[in-house]
């Protein structure tokens, strides 16, 4: 299997999780409609801490990731980071098995 996975952990500021989830819903819809190079794009919210959200992003190439970052929904999310993030994101790049 070619490509790579990005496993991302986001911790929001207190009370900012609903805003993050709204952005992720828009990104997920945009990915499904416009990004054939994005193999999988999943998000999940912690059951223990509503301010913690995890993303599993699988891309077939670095170019697919670059296209993802050019999307309208992603750009809106990126512009709102300062209002949403409680700490720096944790991003780990993985090799699919």
Tens digit of each residue's pLDDT, the chain (97 residues): 579 999 999 999 999 999 999 999 999 999 999 999 999 999 999 999 999 999 999 999 999 999 999 999 999 999 999 999 999 999 999 999 8
| Architecture in CATH for domain 4-94 | 2-Layer Sandwich (3.30)
Strand order across the 4-11 sheet: 38-45, 52-59, 4-11, 90-94
For the entire predicted model, the pTM comes to 0.92
Helix (H) or strand (E) holding 81, with range, is helix 81-84
- The full set of domain ranges for the chain reads 4-94
The token duo for 51 is: 């301010």
Inter-residue contact 28 to 43 (CB < 8 Å): yes
Residues 88/86/29/97 CA torsion (nearest 10 deg)? 40
């Amino acid at each position: 299997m070619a490509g790579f996975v990005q496993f991302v952990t986001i911790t929001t500021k207190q009370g900012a999780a609903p805003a993050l989830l709204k952005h992720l819903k828009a990104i997920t819809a945009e990915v499904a409609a416009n990004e054939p190079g994005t193999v999988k794009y999943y998000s999940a919210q912690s059951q223990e801490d509503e301010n913690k959200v995890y993303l599993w992003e699988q891309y077939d190439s670095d170019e697919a990731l670059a296209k993802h970052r050019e999307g309208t929904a992603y750009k809106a999310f990126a512009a709102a980071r300062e209002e949403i993030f409680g700490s720096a994101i944790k991003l780990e790049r993985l090799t699919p098995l």
